[in-house]
Amino acid sequence: MAKNYMLLYGKKSIYERLKVNPESIRKIFFSADFNSPRIQTLITSEGISAERQGAEKIENMKRAKNVQGIVARVDKFIYTDLDDLLKENSKLTPVFLDRINDPQNLGVIIRTLACFGKFCVILAEKEACHITEAVMHVASGGENYVQVARAPDMAKALSAAKRCGFHIMGAVIDTGAKDINSLKLKFPLALVLGAEATGITPEIQKMLDEKSCIAMQGAKLSLNVNTACAIFCHEIARQRK
């Protein structure tokens, strides 16, 4: 039987959840030698149920790296309605992820967008990673600050974004693409990022209003998608001011 909760683990992830969304936490378990005054203070002030366990029980509860002696049972992640997100076109910049299926990449992207602020994420429902326990751990609390929606059909979602007034820019490796640092961006703007191996699908590329790239003077290698996301979003945030 599928469990009706998720496990959050690691000090940073649980600390951010305690600060921002404590009502989603059902119970916290920590090892006998666990010591973090700021976390323990928040647990007490929020009146959250907590229990000390032996280190072995904690490890059996969540078999992963960097558990750091603390695990929390939390409500399942709640996705935002796609239409509601697109209606926020004057406030948020949506980042459409076309078939990103690595939890590490997705987690880093969410953490990056949380740091820049005023971004949201649209994931494909198929052939893509969703918000898992591993993604939340890598996001290090970023999931509390970034709204995430799922799109059954990415092309239809981009069409809906265009109807809402978004200018669609895609990150591509293409001779016709313009250097992101030389572009005067048009707002409201939506960014599309594709899978590392194959990039943005041809169907989605046809829907782009602008093709952009990152000019690199060094070796002709491709950047990891989460690194590319940070570079694009830094420039978006800079111009959005």
pLDDT > 90: percent of the chain? 84
DSSP for residue 222:
P
Residue 225: CB atoms within 10 A of its CB come to 22
For residues 111 and 117, what is the distance between their CA atoms, to the nearest angstrom? 10
- Going from the C-alpha of 96 to that of each of 53, 74, 123, 147, 165, the distances in angstroms are 41, 26, 6, 12, 15
Structural domains present in the chain = 6-74 (3.30.1330.30), 82-240 (3.40.1280.10)
144 CB contacts (<8 Å, ≥6 apart)?
16, 17, 19, 20, 21, 114
Q: Are strands 50-53 and 25-31 parallel, antiparallel or unpaired?
A: parallel
Instruction: Kindly report the backbone phi and psi dihedral angles of residue 77, in degrees, each rounded to the nearest multiple of 5, phi listed first.
Output: -65, 135
Instruction: Kindly report the backbone phi and psi dihedral angles of residue 48, in degrees, each rounded to the nearest multiple of 5, phi listed first.
Output: -90, 135
The reported pLDDT for the residue numbered 127 is 85
The reported pLDDT for the residue numbered 27 is 98
Is the entire prediction scored with pTM above 0.85? yes
Order the strands of the 119-124 sheet from edge to edge.
148-151, 119-124, 93-98, 189-194, 167-171, 210-213, 178-179
The reported pLDDT for the residue numbered 3 is 83
**Token couple for 117:** 């602020």
pLDDT tens for 25-76 read: 999 999 999 999 999 999 999 999 999 999 889 989 988 888 999 999 999 9
The reported pLDDT for the residue numbered 166 is 96
Intervals of the chain under pLDDT 70? 1-2, 89
